Structure 1
Amino acid sequence: MPSSLVRKAAPVTAAGLACALAFAAAPPAAAGPAAALPTVGVRVGVTGGAYTGSVGIVRTSARTVFGGYYCAANGTDPTPLTALVDAQEQYGLGGVRAYWDAAKKDFVVTDIHGDVADSKKKWNAYVNEKKITTGPCGTAIKDTDKVRWTLEA
């Protein structure tokens, strides 16, 4: 059965999915149980829109998001986007939507808990209060980091 995230995800065209999968990295081959992907515990917060909140510790790791794109920094590390998706699944943030941006070769978050980005404001991710400079699937996070998504002009 699809998760609530998949049911609420923005539709992706066949061309968009093909483009996303063209840049997607395959999960690393496991060499047994010791080769498991790193799992970290981070705090996730959402600010800037009508919904503001933070959730408890979110366990996250590199994973597929939004219909099959493998999201991992450096091929194995969890990211601000995996933390947001896992926070949605673990704590129910009210829905997370994103689309694949072919020019950026990464996802762009468009909606968290009904707070929608538009031409004047967008969702930005911060790790330990520092705005990320790479895409949300290209930024590695580590254990005890604080991830904040803020809707801002």
Structure 2
Amino acid sequence: MKARSRRGLAILAGLSALGIASALVLNAFRSNLVFFFSPSQVVAKEAPLERGFRIGGLVEEGSIRRSGQDLTVHFVVTDLARAVPVVYTGLLPDLFREGKGVVAQGRLGADGVFRADQVLAKHDENYMPPEAARALEQARQGKLGAPEP
């Protein structure tokens, strides 16, 4: 085999390996990408049923119900325009309270109940995740927008 042929074969093998590695990285990135939706967007059926996403807003007053047998908690997340029921099993953050900001990550069931894998609460009196604050403001103005990554 000529030196030129070996060099061409090595370049082709290198480009093939680079292409395969790029495809694997992009696939991993796509599967870990999580979008944020407001309760208004979820009720308007803009949220995916087959993929996980985040929902954020305020914990509705009087909506927290705890199971007596395990760590399951039922509550409602609202953006003051629409509300979505949430079910979570696990330990909640210390700052989780009614009327306070919350972001939950999980999947929406066919029954319209959001099953959370993770629940995050704001960490002080002045902070709310930017996506949740933007969704609350849009809901107050009566606007439904597209999800922002």
Larger helix share, 1 or 2: 2
Indicate the structure with greater strand content.
1
Normalised to the residue count of structure 2, the TM-score between the two structures is: 0.28
The higher relative CO (CA closer than 8 Å, separation ≥ 6) is in 1
| Structure number with larger C-alpha Rg | 2
